[in-house]
Structure 1
Amino acid sequence: MATVQVSEAEKVYIMHGVRDDLRVDGRGCEDYRHMEVETDVVSNTDGSAKVSLGHTDVLVGIKAEIGKPKPAVPNEGYVEFFVDCSANATPEFEGRGGEELGVELSNTLYKVFNNRHSLDLRSLCICPGEHCWVLYIDVLLLQCDGNLFDAMSVAIKAALFNTRIPKVQVSEDEEGGKEIELSDDPYDCMRLDVTNVPCIVTLSKIGHRHVVDATLQEKACSVASLLISITHKGLVTCVRKLGVGSLDPDSIFEMTETGKRVGKALHAPLMELLQKDESLGKKRQKVGFLA
């Protein structure tokens, strides 16, 4: 992860502000920075979105391709993630550092999104045991100013909402085999139900309190963070601790409850924004999310 150097005086200043629920940029402990969401930004994909959270910029593109279902779940499709950390975002992403972080982020995203509780994978099945849709989700980190997971999750949900998969007709040939024909009509497509797709809320423990959407400076003052993926109903689908420090059970409980509250408050304006963009034919809106 990208890091910055913070002096002891700065750490004291930041920690005292968090204690009083007044952060350096004027936010409260449970407030997000302004977030800008833009959909349909990459022409050669089936769905795409770009999210700017503070100075963190994330671009997501989705391509749907026909593949073979996994043997354990023959009636479901699946998703694959690839995260590319641009060296322009921070010098720490150059070389092996960016590759290792990309693999770590991909594995976490896979756990959060590739399950039937987050996405209706059965809707991606074409012929059970033979053909299914595979969603290849490419995430590009353009700029890093902390809170990568939250920005990525919002961008992925927006890109899935924007994704259009061609309708498929399956017929049998003379030899009894199956032929697959894709519709040429761009309006004859399948949309994904993103209602249950979770958003990630990362909470960082600073002193005796925790904050949402930590900047790099605040991250440098944090002993540990808790990553929580939340559905629109407040269901927790994944929890992961980040950082070298430890968290006591009371802190984990408090952070989880905060994450559920903030996560539920994040979904409604995001979906409203995406639906408004689609109905008005607009691609770009700016909105600030507050817990």
Structure 2
Amino acid sequence: MPKEPETSLAEKTFVLEALKQNLRVDGRELHAFRDVQLIFGDDYGFVDVRLGKTRVLARISAEVTKPRSDRPFEGLFTISTELGPMASPAFEVGRPSELDHTISRILERSIRRSHALDAESLCIVTAQRVWSIRADVHFLSHDGSLLDASCIAVITALAHFRLPVVTVSGEDITIHDVEERVPVPLSILHWPICVTFSFFGDDENGETMYLLDATAQEEALRAGDMTITVNKNGEICQIAKSGGVAVEAEILMRCARLAAEKVKVIDKMIGDALREDELRRNKGNLDWLKEGRAENDR
């Protein structure tokens, strides 16, 4: 299997010594994120997220299907990830890596299992027809923090997506065209955002060194990592820590508080980007959208 180029001893020594002095190669502070860019496609539910040089695409699709027999009132929601050689030569098509499994598992726990999407709102006819929502995540460039970028991508794409209006008459189900009835947004209960911490042992003062939004070079040198998923209300949805250095309870609490602060900023950034895109699509006028939604309600 192809591998990423190994970090030389000189690079490793330079990066670790710099971290002990609270310095990073790209000039950021230890607890700072890189600039996040959100680019929306022409279709609803398509988002291009750029976190530094890391680039992730997310696309939401929907189809009408039968519900699960044990959950007749709920729609379906799945997340599919694809790590390929376009993102990095270390990834191969058709051979999921450990990182691929980790990202898929944590996204599942962070978004689907935290009930970010209201599954009952996807029901069309109980035990007969429901909406099946699918989020496809594609990684185009890998320079660290793939999990954080993909979580932002999925949440933003879900908030950006619009479902066609459906009317039920007896046993007939009619899915209206976008030009006929204004599509409606998904019912999202909260926006869980992943924040990953990378650990590098102790600094000169004996304090545990940890940083946010690690680059690919920093990830290759870290001694351990931990991902905390939080929403803007400060509610922790999940914590994932597998292997690596041990994390003391005090450090864990610091990380949780820091994650909550960062998520508030990211949440606002996503909301502002969505509003700007809606204004752009409607040329600064949202009155027609409000009227369309009122008409749909009637």
Please tell me the TM-score bracket, short chain as reference: 0.7 to 0.9
Indicate yes or no: 2:232 matched with 1:255. no
Q: Is the 8 A contact 1:64 1:134 kept in 2?
A: yes
Query: Which of 195, 200, 207 lines up with 1:201 in the alignment?
Result: 195
Q: Distance in 1 between matches of 2:113 and 2:74?
A: 10
TM-score of the aligned structures, taking structure 2 as reference length: 0.83
Q: Distance in 2 between matches of 1:252 and 1:3?
A: 30
Q: 1:198 to 1:12 in 2, by over 3 A?
A: same
Correspondence for 1:183:
176
Q: Distance in 2 between matches of 1:74 and 1:253?
A: 40
In structure 2, the residue corresponding to 1:146 is in which secondary structure?
coil
Shift of 1:39: 1.2
Q: 1:189 to 1:126 in 2, by over 3 A?
A: same
Q: Distance in 2 between matches of 1:219 and 1:101?
A: 12
- Structure 1 residues not aligned, in runs of 5+: 173-177, 283-291
TM-score of the aligned structures, taking structure 1 as reference length: 0.85
Indicate yes or no: 2:241 matched with 1:241. yes
Indicate yes or no: 2:77 matched with 1:76. no
Correspondence for 1:267:
267
Query: Once the two structures are aligned, what percentage of the paired residues are identical?
Result: 29
Q: Deviations over 1:47-97 (max 9, x none)?
A: 210111111111111111112223343222121111111212211111454
Correspondence for 2:36:
35
**Structure with the higher fraction of residues in strand conformation:** 1
Give the CA RMSD over aligned residues: 2.3
- Structure 2 residues not aligned, in runs of 5+: 202-207, 283-298
Q: 1:195 to 1:11 in 2, by over 3 A?
A: farther
How many residues align structurally? 274
Shift of 1:31: 0.9
Runs of 4+ in 1 over 6 A off after TM superposition: none
Correspondence for 2:85:
87
Q: Is the 8 A contact 1:226 1:239 kept in 2?
A: yes
Shift of 1:20: 3.4
Q: Residues 64-213 of structure 1: matches in 2 within 5 Å?
A: 64-95=62-93, 97-98=95-96, 101-115=99-113, 117-172=115-170, 178-186=171-179, 187-194=181-188, 196-207=190-201, 208-213=208-213
Q: Is the 8 A contact 1:84 1:99 kept in 2?
A: no
Q: Relative CO higher for 1 or 2, CA cutoff 8 Å, sep ≥ 6?
A: 1
